[in-house]
Structure formats: structure tokens, C-alpha cells
Structure 1
């Protein structure tokens, strides 16, 4: 019984400490949807590009030789920006056979 009480106590301490450990989001941050694409290859139904305005997002360091650059359809999804800021990202939506959004 003492072991379970100890486990429960440690769990509660861990959960209560999580917000301080993770930090808090900026009060000024927002998450607007910038674009939606429905003509997508590789079986995806839809792609949505989002922008997180939280100032804690820093620009990504891309390799100078272009290995990390966006190409092909991903380049289109990032509005033809080969090296997009880390605060821009997209979600891929896939549905089951016969299911429509």
C-alpha cells in the first residue's frame, strides 16, 4: 500500500510541476491559418499552412548547400519560400477510402 501511495504522490508532484517546466505560451501569440491546398499528391486530401506568431519561434538554420530547402509541392505549400521560418508549418489531412471531408 505504501508503494502505491508513493507512486501516486510522485505522479501528482510531476503533473503539478509540468506547467512551470514547460513554460507558458505568449499571451500575444496566435495561430492563423494562412492557406489551404486541396490538390495534393501522395494520397493526402488536404494541406493547411499555419503560422504561429509566438516570438519564441526562432528561424531555423538551414544547411548552406540547400539540403534542407523545400522543393516540389512542399515549396508550393510554403508559398514558394525555399527556407521558410520555423513558425510556419503545415498539416496533412488524409481520409479513409470512401470518406469525404
Structure 2
């Protein structure tokens, strides 16, 4: 998958974070769904691949419980501060891939 496709998924994640209703944790679920569907062979430069992998790890670190998936299980347990940090990491990665502001 090209970096253009990754940028598109990041843009959709940012859009979900800024336009969806609900708590930041709930909006992160929407944002994470597209990001977590990205294949691991993204053809991204190493620093961007590491940043994307870190974001995905932070959004999927808890095991699924009942009918909820890993993303929901994780975001349900994270603090507002951690949710904000992850949202900023998504924005920072998108901005970096676009070449800055």
C-alpha cells in the first residue's frame, strides 16, 4: 500500500476524531478502525512506519471482551489524557506525511 493510501486513512481518522459525536475515546474507535485495517507492508519510510505501528499498538493493547473488539476494549480503559495523546499522534503523523504544515 502506498503512502498516499496511508495518508488517506489518516485523514479519515482525523475526520472521525473531529466530526463524530461522543467522547474522545468513542471517536478514537471510529478513527482506529481504518488505521488498524492497513497492511503492515505500507511502503512507508521507517520513521513513519514506527509511528503508525505505535499508534495501532496503543489502540489495540487490551484483549477483546465479550462482543467488543480489541479497539473498544482498549479505548474504554484509557484516560482522557492518553486518548488526547493518541489523537495528537495521529494528527502529527498525517502532518509529517504531508510534508509539514
Q: Which structure shows the higher helix fraction?
A: 2
TM-score of the superposed pair, with normalisation by structure 2: 0.22
Question: Structure with the greater relative contact order (CA < 8 A, sep ≥ 6): 1 or 2?
Answer: 2
